Amino acid sequence: MTVEMIKILVPAALTFLVGIAITPLVTYYLYKYQVWKKVGGKRAFDGTTATEFNRLHADGETKTPRMGGIIIWGPVLVVISILALLAHLFPESLVSQFNFLSRGQTWIPFTTLLSGAFVGFWNDLLDVQPGARGLRLRERLLFVVVLSAYIGWWLYSKIGIDSINIPFWHALYLGPFVIIFFIALSFCLYASGVIDGIDGLSGGIFASIFASYTIIAFIESQYNLASLCASIVGGLLAFLWFNVPPARFYMSETGTMGLTLSLASIAFLTDAHGGGIGIAVLPIIGFLLVITVLSNIIQITSKRLFKRKVFLVAPLHHHFESLGWSAAKVTMRYWILSIMFAFIGVICALISMS
């Protein structure tokens, strides 16, 4: 057990250190090439001007670089590549025990992390050009559907996942409809990426979520998957070090797209495949992601049906800002809630396995 714990903690520490080490270089280029929006503000989902959001954050968008998500997935890529290479070159050495790249546990979440990160990077690159607005939402959603359809097919046909566990009941057989379910889950999680709206907010929330799945994967004896989750936590903590108010850079799409799509596959792998309830506890562990998406849905529905807003501004964390809460207060209280919901989710996962 001690060896497995070390295997999980070492990648987390390494990705944190690599993230801290590469940040000065990344920061230099982000500021040198002015990788921020040239025109601040955004439009609401219904096409109207997001007046309240622009009042709160439009100025910061033209002064703070995007693409900070590089600090999250970059160290994970470096660490997992080096450890895999060393394990290949020195298979009998001690370092080979720290290699956590495996076909059955980490290939899928690692692939989705990088795929989402690279498409998000391209979106951010376009977004900071003069007069540009990044990839269209329909283009990004098409990518999410195509990637998740392929990953869902792989989970079903190659790994054999054809059911999901229902807490205190039995496994619900879905057969090939697992693919549809995975697409829907990926779609919903991607929508939650709008949590990246206040300095430090998304980094802390995602760190508690991936830390929770580190524990869940560990108790399911999926040590490679736990190591990957832990390494992502290390990258998130390195990012968070520089993203606390005032943020040095924003996570933006290259961070949120990779993290949310990777989280979908991790939830699946810690479910029936691992003998747990990784999907069932996701709404608990990621409760703040859930209410963020719901607040957007409620706002859009109310505006279209009743021509009035429920919240001063959506998503919900900006509503609290509009009420007069400081950005730091919103962030800290969201962190506290995120940690508590993470505790509850992990406890539920443990009870279901006992």
Cβ atoms of 250 and 153 closer than 8 Å: no
Point out the residues of the chain with pLDDT beneath 70: 1, 40-61
What distance in Å separates the CA atoms of residue 43 and residue 320, rounded to the nearest whole number?
19
225-to-11, 72, 95, 269, 279 alpha-carbon distances in Å: 12, 17, 18, 9, 15
If one counts every other C-beta atom within 10 angstroms of the C-beta of residue 90, the result is 11
Cβ atoms of 247 and 64 closer than 8 Å: yes
In the chain, where the domains are located: 2-353
What distance in Å separates the CA atoms of residue 187 and residue 202, rounded to the nearest whole number?
18
257-to-79, 181, 242, 274 alpha-carbon distances in Å: 20, 19, 20, 25
Locus of tokens 């607040």: 295
The phi, psi pair for 172, rounded to 5°, reads: -95, 110
Alpha-carbon dihedral of residues 260, 286, 239, 68, nearest 10 degrees?
40
Cβ atoms of 279 and 291 closer than 8 Å: no
Cβ atoms of 294 and 145 closer than 8 Å: no
Q: E strands of the chain, at which residues?
A: 163-165, 171-173
Phi-psi region of 292 (alpha: psi -120 to 50; beta: other; left: phi over 0): alpha
Q: First CA to last CA across the chain, in angstroms?
A: 19
What distance in Å separates the CA atoms of residue 211 and residue 205, rounded to the nearest whole number?
10
What is the per-residue pLDDT for 44? 57
Phi-psi region of 199 (alpha: psi -120 to 50; beta: other; left: phi over 0): beta
Residue 286, classed as helix, strand or coil, is: coil
Rounded to the nearest 10 degrees, the angle between the axes of helix 201-219 and helix 327-353 is: 10
Locus of tokens 């992990």: 346
Cβ atoms of 256 and 100 closer than 8 Å: no
What distance in Å separates the CA atoms of residue 60 and residue 39, rounded to the nearest whole number?
10
